[in-house]
């Protein structure tokens, strides 16, 4: 097994030494090449030894583990971060994930969890190393397969998977750097998404025919690279023809006339240089989104076609609606729909067309995530089937209600998943409550601290699990224990108060009567022989 480089960071010397001595890193595929006892030292060590994986404490004085991650991200170093914390703090975990942490482990570390995480990190690193080696080996194939190799490189570049410098290096190696007179124009084109719903059986065949036709007509006049974009196919054209934009527009118009299925397309302005490849692609993608909303067959940025602020706002609102549903945020969805209503075009047909695309985008997002139950699928189908019979105002109302239902289903699904995930945590919390009922200071904060969860987050999970608040559950357990002790007849009322953590007898009697309808003395008499 090839051993990968590991750096361990912890500002507690004893804990750091414990990490070094306790675990058999070699069996997990790693050799420790450096350690650090502060964030500042960690940055220095990481830059010096360039490890594959960094295991770091998240809470350190001055420079935290999160800050170390931020600093390393500013460099060209590629390493996985596994963060450790003695606190099951949801906010810290979320920040670590936002910064791209590979994993988040809790102290004390479970051996099995550490083993599983390190093995997973090892696999990811090895895949990355193998991919880098494959990339280097591609250079040997350049002479034999120049165009295909460059096609792969360009696709990775427009997907932000490799930097501009790497593309420049490859093109220089191929002696194929863009000349100053050359420009890059991107055409994004596809079958209208609505057709995928209304003609699902014909959609794939129509799309295949369209792409073949485009390759033929565009390839007949221009050199191009073809890549799959966000819901469309992108043709990146390399040309010195100054009239290429208008020529491409004419070509697309002819294709649209010949095709039976609805074609949506967008054409960027021409841009020069390697950065022009990505720029033209991004512009065409943005315009394609606008074309999809408006139903246009071709959409270019030129003196003939002006992109209005209203069209840009429509695309932005479209994104906001989908994101509100993705985040299960009902308030945000409502606010966005209000914004949408004021921004809809005057034409009623376009209003319905716009709502149709909002629903399509939301449905595709649900397919990629969760929440698309059979019941929700049926609601989407009913909406599409009855679209022609709905007025624009009614279409907006129906869409809003369906998306509210979607959020409700997603929230329920997320809560159920969360409850299952934290089942063991809740068992531990309940056991701790039972064991410490006699402690007056027992609270949601102390119980959450015992199982290393944020109190607010713990309270939410607890309520989802037991269908009652922590406060109500704690009172219920105390009163039930008091009832058992009174039934057994062992000890005075004062003793029972101490046993259930309510040390004021008068307050205890008040709570007990609220819970049972009787005073403790009355309840006790019923069980006296």
Long-range contacts of 284-289 (CB under 8 A, 24+ apart): 284/186, 284/187, 284/188, 284/234, 285/188, 285/229, 285/230, 285/232, 285/234, 286/315, 287/188, 288/188, 288/189, 288/190, 288/229, 288/231, 288/232, 288/264, 289/315, 289/318
pLDDT value at 303 more than 50: no
| Mean predicted confidence (pLDDT) in 414-441 | 81
pLDDT value at 135 more than 70: no
Kindly tell me the burial class for residue 363, based on how many C-beta atoms sit within 10 Å of its own C-beta (0-12, 13-18, 19 or more). buried
pTM above 0.85, yes or no: no
For residue range 337-395, list pLDDT tens digits in order.
887 777 776 777 777 777 877 888 888 788 877 788 889 988 988 888 887 777 878 88
pLDDT at 339: 78
Strands 80-85, 103-106: pairing is parallel
Structure-token pair, residue 8 = 């361990």
Cα separation, 251 vs 256, whole angstroms: 9
For residue range 206-239, list pLDDT tens digits in order.
888 889 999 999 999 999 999 886 668 999 999 9
pLDDT value at 143 more than 50: no
Kindly tell me the burial class for residue 125, based on how many C-beta atoms sit within 10 Å of its own C-beta (0-12, 13-18, 19 or more). buried
In this structure, of 2-11, 28-37, 382-391, the range with the lowest mean pLDDT score is 382-391
Cα separation, 490 vs 488, whole angstroms: 6
In this structure, of 66-70, 340-344, 366-370, 427-431, the range with the lowest mean pLDDT score is 340-344
Structure-token pair, residue 114 = 């550490």
DSSP letter at 268 equals: P
**Percent of the chain whose pLDDT exceeds 90:** 26
Cα separation, 518 vs 228, whole angstroms: 73
CATH architecture of 4-135: 3-Layer(aba) Sandwich (3.40)
| Mean predicted confidence (pLDDT) in 484-499 | 87
**Percent of the chain whose pLDDT exceeds 70:** 86
pLDDT value at 297 more than 60: no
pLDDT value at 309 more than 70: no
| Domain 150-294 indexed as CATH 3.30.70.270 | yes
pLDDT at 302: 42
| Homologous superfamily of 423-525 | Homeodomain-like (1.10.10.60)
Q: Which of 488, 527, 511 is nearest to 519 (CA)?
A: 511
pLDDT category, 158, cuts 50, 70, 90? confident
| Mean predicted confidence (pLDDT) in 242-261 | 84
Owner of token pair 């022609």:
388
Q: Identify the residue with better confidence: 454 or 71.
A: 71
Residue pair 488/499 in contact by the 8 Å Cβ criterion: no
């Amino acid at each position: 097994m090839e051993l990968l480089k590991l750096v361990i960071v912890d500002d507690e010397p004893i804990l750091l030494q414990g990490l070094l001595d306790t675990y058999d890193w070699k069996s997990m595929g790693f050799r420790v090449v450096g350690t650090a006892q502060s964030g500042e030292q960690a940055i220095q060590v990481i830059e010096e030894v360039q490890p594959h994986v960094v295991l770091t404490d998240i809470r350190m004085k001055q420079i935290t583990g999160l800050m170390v991650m931020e600093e390393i991200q500013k460099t060209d170093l590629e390493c996985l971060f596994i963060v450790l914390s003695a606190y099951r703090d949801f906010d810290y975990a979320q920040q670590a994930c936002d910064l791209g942490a590979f994993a988040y482990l809790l102290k004390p570390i479970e051996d099995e969890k550490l083993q599983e995480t390190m093995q997973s990190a090892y696999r990811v690193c090895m895949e990355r190393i193998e991919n880098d080696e494959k990339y280097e080996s591609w250079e040997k194939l350049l002479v034999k397969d120049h165009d295909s190799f460059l096609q792969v490189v360009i696709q990775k570049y427009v997907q932000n998977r490799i930097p501009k410098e790497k593309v420049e290096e490859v093109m220089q190696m191929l002696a194929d750097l863009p000349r100053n007179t050359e420009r890059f124009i991107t055409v994004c084109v596809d079958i209208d998404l609505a057709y995928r719903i209304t003609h699902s059986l014909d959609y794939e065949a129509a799309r295949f025919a369209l792409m073949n036709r485009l390759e033929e007509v565009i390839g007949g006049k221009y050199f191009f690279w073809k890549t799959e974009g966000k819901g469309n196919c992108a043709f990146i054209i390399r040309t010195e023809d100054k009239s290429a934009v208008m020529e491409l527009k004419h070509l697309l118009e002819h294709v649209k006339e010949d095709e039976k299925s609805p074609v949506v397309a967008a054409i960027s302005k021409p841009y020069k240089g390697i950065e022009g490849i990505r720029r033209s692609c991004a512009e065409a993608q943005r315009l394609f989104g606008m074309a999809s909303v408006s139903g246009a067959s071709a959409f270019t940025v030129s003196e003939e076609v002006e992109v209005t602020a209203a069209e840009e706002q429509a695309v932005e609102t479209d994104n906001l609606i989908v994101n509100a549903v993705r985040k299960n945020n009902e308030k945000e969805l409502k606010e966005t729909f209000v914004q949408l209503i004021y921004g809809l075009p005057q034409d009623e047909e376009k209003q319905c067309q716009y709502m149709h695309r909002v629903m399509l985008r939301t449905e595709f997002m649900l397919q990629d995530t969760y929440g698309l139950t059979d019941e929700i699928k049926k609601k989407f189908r009913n909406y599409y089937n009855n679209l022609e019979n709905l007025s624009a105002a009614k279409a907006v109302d129906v869409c809003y209600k369906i998306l509210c239902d979607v959020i409700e289903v997603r929230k329920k699904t997320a809560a159920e998943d969360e409850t299952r995930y934290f089942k063991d945590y809740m068992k531990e919390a309940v056991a701790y409550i039972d064991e410490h009922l006699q402690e007056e200071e027992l609270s949601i904060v102390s119980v959450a601290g015992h199982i290393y969860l944020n109190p607010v987050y713990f309270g939410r999970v607890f309520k989802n699990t037991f269908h009652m608040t922590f406060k109500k559950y704690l009172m219920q357990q105390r009163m039930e224990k008091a009832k058992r002790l009174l039934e057994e007849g062992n000890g005075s009322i004062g003793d029972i108060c101490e046993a259930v953590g309510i040390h004021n007898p008068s307050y205890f009697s008040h709570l007990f009567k609220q819970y049972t309808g009787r005073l403790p003395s009355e309840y006790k008499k019923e069980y006296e022989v």
